């Protein structure tokens, strides 16, 4: 490494209150290289990207661009420094036409047109309003807009997600040529196939820290998976539980039956069953359609196709109230979505009781009190700050969101990443609780971004990638490396010695 890096970030720290998003991240990009930035969910990739592009400011750390310290305070600063991002959600102004969007960012039109043609869209009318352009094309336009100003460092966040195969191919080709012409690209992707075909090196983040920089060569994906998981591989093998307690197969009808469920372009043709007394895990990388799956089952959004059956009866949910009546409770991943933060623990737990019109009258405070207290005791919620839920710790807040549905005696609980950002002790309690619920014959659908939880809690694992169910694991096989591979769309059979790099084209990775 004799050449000086184009971009050199070291010791980057970012905290949000007590939550540490980045503790010591570094990233060094050489001229002419395509550099992959990798990490599991919540490792801090997106925070690092936001800092590099001026969207937020770091608490500490140095960022050198071409050896000079630059203080990037805003996206405009980053642009001037030659650093251009293409975000996952396109940043074209939806109500302006393409030409105005170019003018707004000071992008020259002719190079833009040239890039658009290059990227495989021959017939763009730049007078089209951005909102009317399909998402895939919009992402390509965003890329073309960035390329047109010839940035030194191009930052691509999941660039090929949601792109049809032909466009994705063109994009990858263009990105590769960027490297050849001496410019650098930071490439964030969940797809090993692309990374191996495209990138020179990869920086791996774990828990807000850079844990390694590797050269991309055949067989390296196993090392990357190991780095992303860290020391946890060894640990979890010990704690894996058997699915012996799983639901008795005698149950004829599943509690919840999902068949061919579709939601827009995000979720395609998902089918699975959930039995009584079962905890089924859902594993997926960010944005693979799991959000839509849970929202559709909870009645928050209407699916565009497929059927949902509860106890064998087909149901249609127009409002979460319909799902609740069918005994399906939804615990969202973001606690701020579920709680009325300025209200007390008691009111939050009792909220579903008052929802129906017939319960609008005077509240039987004693009866409500006893139900709430038993739920609080069962979950061991620390009620010292119970006057306002927002003063509770994150873990206790999460318990309140679950306690609500235990008090309401919901038959099916949809838990979306309930242990995100809470302390270890509380996590253990939540695992125990979910198992208890299953033992009482209730069914739980449990999405988690922390793979080690799967073997602690679940009876079965459904892996979703690109809006489809790509695999269903029995819990015995669901160790972390296997899940990680599956979540990245790697086939279950692929062994370390072969590696997918040897045989890109035969890999059954679902390209949408």
Partner 1 sequence: MTRLVRRQGWVAGLLVLFVVLLVITRLIQPGYGSGDFGSLVRAVLPYAFAVAAQTIVVIAGGIDLSVGAMMALTSVTAASMMDGASEEYALFVVPFVLAMGLVLGAVNGMLIVVTRVPDIVVTLATLFVLQGAALLVLGAPGGAVAEWLRATIIGTVPIPGLPGISAWIPKALVLLVVCLCIIWIPLKRSKLGLSIYAIGSSELAAFRSGVPVARTKIIAYALSGLFGAMGGLALTMSTGIGAPIPGPYLLASVAAVVLGGVALGGGKGGLLGPIVAVFVLRLVRTDLTLLAIDPNVTAIIEGAIMVAVVMFGAFITMRGRQ
Partner 2 sequence: MSISAIQPVPFGRRLKRFMADRPLIPLIILLVMLVVILQVLRPGIVNERWLANTVKFAIPLAILAGCQTMTMLTGGIDLSVGTVATMSAFIMATQVVNHDPAVAILIALVPAVLIGLVNGIGVGVFRVHPLIMTLGTSLIGTGCLQVYQRTVIASGAKIPPFLAWLGTGLTYGVPNALLLFVPIAVLIVFTLNRTGFGRLLYAVGDNEGAARLSGVRYWQVITALYVISSVLAGITGLLYIGLIKAPSLSLAEPLVLPSVAAAVIGGTSIFGGRGGYTGTIIGALILTVLTTLLTILQMPEGARRILFGLIVLFVTAAYLRIIEDR
Neighbours of 345 (CB within 10 A): 26
Neighbours of 358 (CB within 10 A): 5
User: What residues form DSSP beta bridges with 461?
Assistant: 281, 473
Token duo for residue 402 = 């679950």
Kindly determine how many residues on this chain lie close enough to bind partner 1 according to the rule CB under 8 A: 26
Minimum distance from residue 287 beta carbon to partner 1 (Å): 17
Contacting residue, 15, 24, 91, 304, with partner 1 by CB under 8 A = 91
Does residue number 215 form part of the binding site for partner 1 (CB under 8 A)?
Answer: no
Q: Which residue, 303 or 489, is less far from partner 2 as judged by CB?
A: 303
Q: List the interface residues with partner 1, window 121-140 (CB under 8 A).
A: 125, 127-129, 131-132
Minimum distance from residue 300 beta carbon to partner 1 (Å): 11
Closest CA to 209 of 351, 58, 90, 44: 44
- What whole-number distance in Å separates Cα of residue 73 and Cα of residue 51? 9
Of 30-38, 90-98, 110-118, 408-416, the segment contacting partner 1 by CB under 8 A is 90-98
CA dihedral 329, 331, 337, 343 (to 10 degrees): 80
Does residue number 505 form part of the binding site for partner 1 (CB under 8 A)?
Answer: no
Does residue number 370 form part of the binding site for partner 2 (CB under 8 A)?
Answer: no
Does residue number 95 form part of the binding site for partner 1 (CB under 8 A)?
Answer: yes
| Residue bearing tokens 């009482």 | 440
Minimum distance from residue 128 beta carbon to partner 1 (Å): 6
15 — phi, psi (to 5°)? Answer: -125, 145
28: Cα separation from own chain's centroid: 25
Does residue number 60 form part of the binding site for partner 2 (CB under 8 A)?
Answer: no
Query: Out of partner 2, partner 1, none, which partner does residue 39 contact, by CB within 5 to 8 A per kind?
Result: none
In sequence order, which residues have a C-beta less than 8 Å from that of residue 383 and are 6 or more positions away?
345, 376
Does residue number 18 form part of the binding site for partner 2 (CB under 8 A)?
Answer: yes
Neighbours of 458 (CB within 10 A): 30
Closest CA to 171 of 159, 162, 153, 181: 159
Q: Which residue, 76 or 355, is less far from partner 2 as judged by CB?
A: 355
Does residue number 257 form part of the binding site for partner 2 (CB under 8 A)?
Answer: no
Neighbours of 250 (CB within 10 A): 5
Minimum distance from residue 294 beta carbon to partner 2 (Å): 11
- What whole-number distance in Å separates Cα of residue 58 and Cα of residue 75? 14
Q: List the interface residues with partner 1, window 294-313 (CB under 8 A).
A: none
Contacting residue, 170, 232, 343, 378, with partner 2 by CB under 8 A = 343
Minimum distance from residue 49 beta carbon to partner 1 (Å): 12
Query: Out of partner 2, partner 1, none, which partner does residue 74 contact, by CB within 5 to 8 A per kind?
Result: partner 1
Of 59-67, 87-95, 384-392, 470-478, the segment contacting partner 1 by CB under 8 A is 87-95
Closest CA to 495 of 172, 222, 108: 222
Closest CA to 232 of 419, 480, 488: 480
Report whether 255 contacts 275 (CB < 8 A): yes
Per CB under 8 A, residues contacting partner 2 are 17-19, 298, 300, 319-321, 324-325, 330, 332, 336-343, 347, 350-357, 359-363, 365, 387, 390-391, 393-394, 404
Per CB under 8 A, residues contacting partner 1 are 55, 74-76, 79, 85, 87, 90-97, 100-101, 103-105, 125, 127-129, 131-132
């Amino acid at each position: 490494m004799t050449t000086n890096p184009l971009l050199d970030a070291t010791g980057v720290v970012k905290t949000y209150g007590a939550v540490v998003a980045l503790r010591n991240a570094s990233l060094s990009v050489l001229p002419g290289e395509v550099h992959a930035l990798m990490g599991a969910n919540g490792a801090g990739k997106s925070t690092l990207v936001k800092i590099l592009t001026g969207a937020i400011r770091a608490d500490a750390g140095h960022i050198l661009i071409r050896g000079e310290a630059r203080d990037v305070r805003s996206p405009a600063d980053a642009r001037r420094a030659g650093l251009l991002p293409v975000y996952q959600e396109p940043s074209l102004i939806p109500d302006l036409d393409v030409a105005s969007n170019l003018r707004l960012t000071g992008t020259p039109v002719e190079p833009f047109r040239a890039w658009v043609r290059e990227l495989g869209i021959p017939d763009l009318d730049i007078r089209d309003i951005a909102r009317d352009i399909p998402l895939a094309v919009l992402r390509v336009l965003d890329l073309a807009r960035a390329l047109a100003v010839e940035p030194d460092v191009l930052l691509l966040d999941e660039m090929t997600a949601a792109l049809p195969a032909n466009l994705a191919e063109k994009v990858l080709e263009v990105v590769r040529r960027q490297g050849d012409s001496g410019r650098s690209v930071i490439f964030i992707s969940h797809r090993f196939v692309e990374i191996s075909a495209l990138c020179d090196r990869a920086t791996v983040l774990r828990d807000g820290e850079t844990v390694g920089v590797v050269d991309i060569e055949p067989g390296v994906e196993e090392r990357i998976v190991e780095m992303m998981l860290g020391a946890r591989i060894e640990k979890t093998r010990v704690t894996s539980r058997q699915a012996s307690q799983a639901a008795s197969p005698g149950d004829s009808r599943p509690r919840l039956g999902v068949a061919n469920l579709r939601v827009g372009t995000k979720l395609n043709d998902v089918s699975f069953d959930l039995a009584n007394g079962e905890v089924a895990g859902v594993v997926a990388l960010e944005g693979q359609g799991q959000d839509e799956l849970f929202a559709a089952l909870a009645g928050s959004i209407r699916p565009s196709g497929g059927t949902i059956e509860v106890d064998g009866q087909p149901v249609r949910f127009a409002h979460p109230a319909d799902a609740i009546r069918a005994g399906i409770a939804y615990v969202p991943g973001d606690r701020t979505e579920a709680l009325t933060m300025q209200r007390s623990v008691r009111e939050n737990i009792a909220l579903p009781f008052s929802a129906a019109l017939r319960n609008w009258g005077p509240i039987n405070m004693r009866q409500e009190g006893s139900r709430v207290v038993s739920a609080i005791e069962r979950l061991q919620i620390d009620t010292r700050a119970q006057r306002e839920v927002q003063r509770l710790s994150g873990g206790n807040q999460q318990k309140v969101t679950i306690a609500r549905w235990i008090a309401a005696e919901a038959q099916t609980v949809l838990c979306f990443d309930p242990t995100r950002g809470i302390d270890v002790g509380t996590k253990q309690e939540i695992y125990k609780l979910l198992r208890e619920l299953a033992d009482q014959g209730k069914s739980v659908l449990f999405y988690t971004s922390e793979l080690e939880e799967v073997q602690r809690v679940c009876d079965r694992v459904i892996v979703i990638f690109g809006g489809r169910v790509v695999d269903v694991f029995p819990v015995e096989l669901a160790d972390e490396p296997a899940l990680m591979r599956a979540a990245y769309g790697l086939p279950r059979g692929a062994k370390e010695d072969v590696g997918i790099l040897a045989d890109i084209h035969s890999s059954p990775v679902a390209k949408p």
